[in-house]
Copies of this chain bind each other. A is one copy, B any other.
């Protein structure tokens, strides 16, 4: 079982990233659950703007997409800027848009996207406000892209660290990692059976 965490901090390596610190904590807990997690810091790569799987010209997104294909668990870790998810996190979502329109990402038999049977969650950091709004956008997009969203799979660290806030972040992260792990295993053993192609054909008949 594998997990991919994309750290969407705006700061390139080797600068310290709060979002990265939260991602590392998640990585340790995943490892305790027997899951190997890789953390990618997006700004360290040359990711082209666009909505295709490969935008060419040295685009380094395809290699990250390969890691996503191999993963059971996908986590977007993003800072909040102006009440909103970071441009880098939105960049990831845009690059995943190809899953909708590129045939290579849909099963020929069932029409299921490659994301079916994978689970997603998110981690958020910020200096004050916006965690819920960011989580809503990330998790909705993941659901739309074909990921399953288990209960309580967002943890955030907003404002000053320490004290009560610290505790809240820590136990919600433990809930998140436990539920992501449970569902990743559940879907590995029980792949989703919905045949999206046939269902679409049934809907086609309703048009008449």
Contacts and interface: CB of A to CB of B under 8 A. Distances in A.
Interface in A137-182: 137, 139-141, 143-154, 156, 158-159, 166-167, 170-171, 173-175, 178-179, 182
A10 to B, nearest CB: 4
A85 to B, nearest CB: 8
A116 interface: yes
Contact of A150 (B133, B141, B148): B148
Contact of A49 (B84, B87, B135): B87
A36 interface: no
Interface-centre pick from A43, A137, A143, A192 (highest chain B CB count, 10 A):
A143
A18 interface: no
Given A132-B83, A167-B204, A190-B190, A149 B146 contact: no
A171 B200 contact: yes
A178 B194 contact: yes
A86 B94 contact: yes
Interface in A185-208: 186, 190, 192-194, 196, 199-200, 202-204, 206-207
B88 A84 contact: no
A174 B202 contact: yes
A116 B143 CA distance: 18
A143 B132 contact: no
Contacts of A70: none
Contact of A84 (B93, B129, B147): B93
A150 B51 CA distance: 24
A122 to B, nearest CB: 10
Contacts of A143: 139, 149-154
A60 interface: no
A139 B129 contact: no
26 contacts: A10-B49, A10-B50, A43-B49, A81-B97, A82-B132, A83-B132, A83-B137, A84-B93, A86-B90, A87-B93, A90-B90, A129-B130, A130-B133, A132-B140, A140-B140, A146-B152, A147-B151, A148-B149, A148-B151, A159-B159, A167-B203, A170-B203, A171-B199, A174-B203, A179-B192, A186-B186
